Amino acid sequence: MATSDVFNHNVPAESDFGYAQAIRSGELIHVSGQLSLDEAGDFLHPDDFAAQLGLTYANFDKILSHYGATRAQIVSQTLYVVNLRQNAGAVAAGNLAYFGDHRPVSTVVGVTELTFPGQVVEISCVIDTRLPA
């Protein structure tokens, strides 16, 4: 696969764990779990659900921009949430704020922990570039 089909944020975790942030397969773009990492790959906002969710979706926007795609082309997302019952309202509010009137399919999974101490959310998605932007 050509390197232009792969997107990375160029953070250490990509080489440390051996994965791509996103990869194009035909008209679909598969996006790895995004979280609240900054440009240097540092995890930000431990235990702050709203701040983590905002930065996570901002990282989605970088991927969308790279591929010339929009939020309206996200067809599915999977959210992994620590303390799901406690954070369910914030999940819903963040989702509505990010997607507006667009409605991708969505699965929310409650988990006991994620990679970083204080990490409370991680989101992966699939983008279909055949859809209208």
- What pLDDT does residue 12 have? 86
pLDDT digits 0-9 by tens, 9-51:
988 888 888 999 999 999 999 999 999 999 888 999 999 999 9
- What pLDDT does residue 3 have? 45
- What pLDDT does residue 1 have? 41
Compute the chain's Rg from CA coordinates.
14
Q: What residue segments make up the domains of the chain, in order of their start?
A: 1-7+19-75
Tokens for 95, please give them: 């989702």
Gap between the Cα atoms of 71 and 26, Å rounded: 18
- What pLDDT does residue 4 have? 57
- What pLDDT does residue 11 have? 87
pLDDT digits 0-9 by tens, 52-76:
999 999 999 999 999 999 999 999 9
